[in-house]
Amino acid sequence: RIDVHRKENAGAAEKAISIHSTPEGCSAACKMILEIMQKEAKDTKTADEVPLKILAHNNFVGRLIGKEGRNLKKVEQDTETKITISSLQDLTLYNPERTITVKGSIENCCKAEQEIMKKVREAYE
């Protein structure tokens, strides 16, 4: 199931999407969404590259980053992507989530998404 959160931020340029499925189903849906967004961007000539943005609760981000950023660097190297994580200053009581931004080809972003979500799920368990 895919939910597009239209009402929460009606005028915003970015909309959050929740995907409810198995890990494989989520990754497949994520890839399809990225492909559609890439096509839209090409058709409207808005951007060359559509970054993938993943929201994760701050409690789970530490495991993803790893000691001295090792885990994150490994994911970047293995998937040939550039990954950034929003700073702690962006957190509020009402928004405990950090934005993980992944840049690269759709194929590589999807590989990175699988690795990132695996780490986030491990931290959650």
Fold designation for 2-124: Ribosomal Protein S8; Chain: A, domain 1 (3.30.1370)
Residue-level length of the chain: 125
Q: How far apart are CA 110 and CA 114, in angstroms?
A: 6
pTM of the model: 0.86
Residue ranges of the domains in the chain? 2-124
Nearest one of 54, 50, 35, 25 to 116, comparing CA atoms: 54
What does the pLDDT read at residue 117?
Answer: 93
Q: How far apart are the first and last CA of the chain?
A: 22
Helix (H) or strand (E) holding 82: strand 82-85
Render each residue's pLDDT in the chain as its tens digit; 125 residues.
888 877 776 677 788 889 999 999 999 999 999 999 888 888 887 767 889 999 998 888 988 999 999 999 999 999 999 999 998 888 777 778 899 999 999 999 999 999 999 988 888 77
Nearest one of 121, 116, 94 to 22, comparing CA atoms: 121
